[in-house]
Amino acid sequence: KMTSRLKKNRKKRGNVSAGHGRVGKHRKHPSGRGLAGGQHHHRIWMDKFHPGYFGKVGMRYFHKTRNQFHCPAINVERLWSLLGEKTLEEIAKRPAGEVPVIDVTKAGFFKVLGTGKIPQKPMIVRAKFVSKRAEEKIKAAGGVV
């Protein structure tokens, strides 16, 4: 707690209205509490600083279960990082015919997107969904989706 001797109000002792004026007076909530009057006496302020605050847009979706729309995505450039350093070292030791299988769903991703570059090494990618560009890039590197 702050000691009263340090408060600004000490300086105002003896001055009748303590810096709040005689005519206007310091009243509790002269313009309403919170966002009161957004469509009335605070209309200009709402329109200026919060355009689009009032009203509706779009259609309603009753009982929207987020499960159906859960689809975390990963970019092509990050695919090799899912394997980890130990597995990459093991892959380097393997004969040329063996190809690593990258299961994206095990890492918690459902969709593979096509941003970024990938090394020209063949790989097998397992995912629920794959974008066109991602598929093109993987196949160009000699891989399979």
Stretch 57-74: mean pLDDT, rounded? 96
Residue that has been written with the tokens 């130990």 in this structure: 86
pTM for the full predicted model: 0.64
Chain segment 33-53, per-residue pLDDT in tens: 999 999 999 999 999 999 999
Chain segment 109-133, per-residue pLDDT in tens: 999 999 999 999 899 999 999 999 9
Q: Is the dihedral of CA 5, 11, 15, 16 positive or negative?
A: negative
Check residue 38 and give left, alpha or beta (phi > 0: left; psi -120 to 50: alpha).
alpha
Residue 26: how many other CB atoms lie within 10 Å: 10
Nearby residues of 43 by Cβ (< 8 Å), 6 or more positions away: 37
Which DSSP letter does residue 126 get?
E
- Residue 29 pLDDT grade (very low, low, confident, very high; cuts 50, 70, 90): very high
